[in-house]
Amino acid sequence: MTTTVELTRFRVTPDNADRLLASRPAMIADFKADRTGFLTARLVRLPNDEWLDIVEWRSPEDFAASRAKGANLPGIKAFFESIDSLVSAEEGTTDEGA
């Protein structure tokens, strides 16, 4: 099965890290309720106040539709508001059968 993978790297100041983590469950719940094709997400803490969010989507169309919605729900908005700056955003694919 091929999936679309969203890789978003961002910075969070140390004083916002707890807020980021506290908002994550509501963001995931909002994605599950509102984002067609959302499969899973993993949040990775990196050095130097950076984080990597790895989100899998059923298709590139589902990912594009999610991006168009932006922070349309409270849980998603709270998570996005705890991010201080975007470092990079990429899209790729994975084939679990390979």
CATH code of 26's domain: 3.30.70.100
35 part of a folded domain = yes
Number of domains in the chain: 1
Backbone angles phi, psi at 73, to 5 degrees: -125, 155
pLDDT, tens digit, 9 for 90 and up, residues 33-68: 999 999 999 999 999 999 999 999 999 999 999 999
* 59 DSSP assignment: -
Beta-bridge mates of residue 44: 52
pLDDT of residue 97: 62
pLDDT of residue 98: 56
pLDDT at 96 over 90: no
pLDDT, tens digit, 9 for 90 and up, residues 68-88: 999 999 999 999 999 999 999
Query: Average per-residue pLDDT in the chain?
Result: 96
96 part of a folded domain = no
* Of residues 46, 59, 68, 52, the one with CA closest to residue 9: 52
45 part of a folded domain = yes
